[in-house]
Amino acid sequence: MTTSIHFDIFTLFPEVFPAYLETSILKRAQEAKIIEVALHNIRDWTTDRHHVCDDMPYGGGGGMVMKPEPIFASVESVLGAPPTCPVILLSPQGRVFTQGVAEELSQQSHLALLCGRYEGIDERVIEHLVTDEISIGDYVLSGGELPALVLIDAITRLLPGALGDPEGAWDDSHATGLLEYPHYTRPPEFRGWVVPDILLSGDHARIARWRRQQALLRTLQRRPDLLEKAELNDSDRDFLAGLSLEE
């Protein structure tokens, strides 16, 4: 596992990144040098007077297409030609981003993220520069900037030291293959709604067992598809079998 990742972001809208990157966990991760994020405005590599980055699609149709020259120029001048790190295009046509993909990418020390806009980018960029395409879900956004932030956030949480509590990421939904158990904090009673007794009991073994069962229960109720792939032990299976008997 690498301990730090350098992200190079290529975008036409670098200004949308700082507010999110300068907040909370991502801010602290940068201060602690766990991640570095370098923003590159593709428009800075245009050579024409009007700094044009898009043009009409060959063959007609609506919308504009991002031109290949400034994208190649920006990526190759920052990363060399050919780049030695993965060059990931954020795209609704890519493989779908999951916790598993975040874990895979968290092994890298250097990642380039390319953000599309408009109708997308010239296919020659995808064929000859991009090494991976990632989608954050089956819907279409206006640009790859939010998806790039989604990747950076999910990957950074997995790096040692990024979360204040080193155990924080282990139990997270999806990390274990299950959805996480419910959380409660003070007060013990709010508007007559009480915190489950067991969480106040101080009995850590029973609390751990209750949490595991809650995680199993809500995964069964909300995302039964996840249970098929989750790693379950004998007592998990007993608990789930007991539930289906009750129905």
Q: Which residues are catalytic?
A: 92, 119, 157, 172
Backbone dihedral angles phi then psi of residue 28, each to the nearest 5 degrees: -65, -35
Nearest-CA neighbor of 29 among 139, 122, 163? 163
Nearest-CA neighbor of 156 among 139, 138, 168, 141? 168
Closest separation in Å from C-beta 145 to ligand SAH:
8
- Rounded Cα–Cα distance for residues 122 and 54 (Å): 9
Q: Which is nearer to ligand SAH, 93 or 98 (CB)?
A: 93
Question: Please, are residues 169 and 163 in contact by the beta-carbon 8 Å criterion?
Answer: yes
Closest separation in Å from C-beta 142 to ligand SAH:
6
The residue with tokens 């001048």 is 77
Closest separation in Å from C-beta 238 to ligand SAH:
40
| Cα first-last separation, the chain | 44
Q: Which is nearer to ligand SAH, 151 or 159 (CB)?
A: 151
Closest separation in Å from C-beta 48 to ligand SAH:
22
- Rounded Cα–Cα distance for residues 145 and 152 (Å): 11
Q: Which is nearer to ligand SAH, 86 or 177 (CB)?
A: 86
Q: Which is nearer to ligand SAH, 75 or 216 (CB)?
A: 75
- Rounded Cα–Cα distance for residues 170 and 202 (Å): 21
Binding site for ligand SAH (CB under 6 A): 90-93, 115-117, 119-121, 135-137, 139-141, 143-144, 147
Nearest-CA neighbor of 97 among 21, 151, 52? 151
